[in-house]
Amino acid sequence: MEYKPIRKVVSGNYAAAYAVKHARVEVVAAYPITPQTSIIEKIAEFIANDEIENIQYVPVESEHSAMAASIGASATGARAFTATSAQGLALMHEMLHWAAGARLPIVMVDVNRAMAPPWSVWDDQTDSLSQRDTGWMQFYAENNQEVYDGVLMAFKIAETVNLPAMVIESAFILSHTYDVVEMIPQELVDEFLPPRKPLYTLTDFDNPISVGALGTPSDYYEFRYKLAKAMEDAKKVIHEVGKEFGERFGRDYSQMIELYRTEDADFVFMGMGSLMGTVKQAVDLLREEGYKVGAAKVRWFRPFPSEELYELAKNVQAIAVLDRNFSFGQEGILFNEAKGALYNTDAKPLMKNYIVGLGGRDFTVNDVRKIAENMKAIIDKGELDVEVDWYHLKR
């Protein structure tokens, strides 16, 4: 069948809901929380209108239960999905470890939202990055198209390596903003994403198992190694699935870091999620003004693309890491990870951390220009002014 995309104008949240429908998800257990709510409302609407067959919607009383129900569903061998934001994701935290530790390929959309207090419903990556060490893979979408594509790829990757995956989109900037999304006809999605083949199932009554058994000190360690190795192996699978997606549907995701005009760049802006759309636009304008700049969009934060970062770092003089998140007592989380990944290599570009856009603070093309001017001054001088720059601070 020839691929002819179906174009729909949808919000990021509706893009996620359509991807869930097209992925033939069997169980959705979710609790509504702003700004995620319209994802599960749309899925509920699909179910009410008989637009999805063979799906169970479980309305639970909290996010902790949503993840618990997803774990139970996934352990039976079903394809399970949930979605959340901020405090809801934090409430799931304990269960996220159970999902990853039991090697269940659940896919979740987290709509990035700032953690309270002060109470906020706007964009900020600290909620998802706080879940960095739970064993979940993390994909950051730049736009609504990447939300749709990301969910479909996440299921395929998760079910290949038996690890859960988060697809992360920005509150309101994507979740409630409408844009054209090219959707894939159902038959072609089915070819790309065949039914799940689980490692074990609770419903194989001839081979009964228990999940979540006690692991004494003589065995726990080995299972942690297996999980670590699965994360490492996931890099190859991400590359292959992203490449296959590109060959089938024209949008290539084979690289964990998307490079934009970096070939001859003196310095690059690095970041994740929707703000990188702004950065790419700014790069085009800055190039016209004579700046040799590029953008490096980190798509997958877990597993961390250390090798691709090294290749980039070898060829640039400096990297401006834009963090819409912060680890208190240290620095921006992506900055911290990127520096750490390069420490034992011979690539040592100047690296500066800009804390931007926390709690939905607007981040514009003009901001990127100001950062570019600052970066140029740093490169000319050959040393940093400050390592961590609270860029928007009212001084």
Partner 1 sequence: MNTLFGEKKEGATKIVLKSVDEYPEAPVSLGTTLSNFTGDWRTFIPVIDDEKCVKCYICWKFCPEPAIFIREDGYVGVDYDYCKGCGICANECPTKAITMEKEEK
Strand order in the sheet with 56-59: 56-59, 27-30, 80-84, 107-112, 165-170, 137-140, 300-302
Binding residues among 125-184 for partner 1 as defined by CB under 8 A: 162
Question: Which residue among 200, 260, 310, 390 contacts partner 1 (CB under 8 A)?
Answer: 200
Of 144, 156, 132, 142, whose CA–CA distance to 11 is shortest?
A: 144
Q: 5 burial class (0-12, 13-18, 19+ CB within 10 angstroms)? A: middle
Asked if 217 touches partner 1 (CB under 8 A), the answer is no
207 binds partner 1 (CB under 8 A): yes
Give me the 78-107 binding string for partner 1, x by CB under 8 A, dash otherwise.
-----------------------xxx----
**Piece of 50-58, 219-227, 239-247, 293-301 that binds partner 1 (CB under 8 A):** 219-227
The only residue of 194, 195, 215, 340 in contact with partner 1, by rule CB under 8 A = 215
- Rounded to whole angstroms, the Cα distance separating 211 from 76 reads 10
Complex with partner 1: residue 161 or 388, whichever CB lies closer: 161
Least CB distance from residue 228 to partner 1, whole Å? 11
CB nearer partner 1, residue 42 or residue 103: 103
Residue 196 interacting with partner 1 (CB under 8 A): no
The answer to whether 247 contacts partner 1 (rule: CB under 8 A) is: no
Give yes or no for a contact between 266 and 318, defined as CB atoms under 8 angstroms apart: yes
Shorter beta-carbon distance to partner 1: residue 48 or 209: 209
Q: Cβ distance 175 to 111 under 8 Å?
A: yes
CB of 239 to partner 1, least distance (A): 21
In Å, how far from its chain's centre is CA 95? 19
Using CA atoms, how far apart are residues 93 and 89, in angstroms rounded to an integer?
Answer: 6
DSSP secondary structure, 283-334, as one string: HHHHHHTT--EEEEEE-EEES--HHHHHHHHHT-SEEEEEES---TTS--HH
User: How many residues belong to the site for partner 1 (CB under 8 A)?
Assistant: 23
Minimal distance in Å, beta carbon 61 to partner 1? 27
Would you state the structure tokens that stand for residue 245, as one six-digit string?
A: 């997606």
- Shortest separation between residue 163's beta carbon and partner 1, angstroms: 10
Q: Which residues bind partner 1 (CB under 8 A)?
A: 101-103, 162, 199-200, 207-216, 218-219, 222-223, 225-226, 230
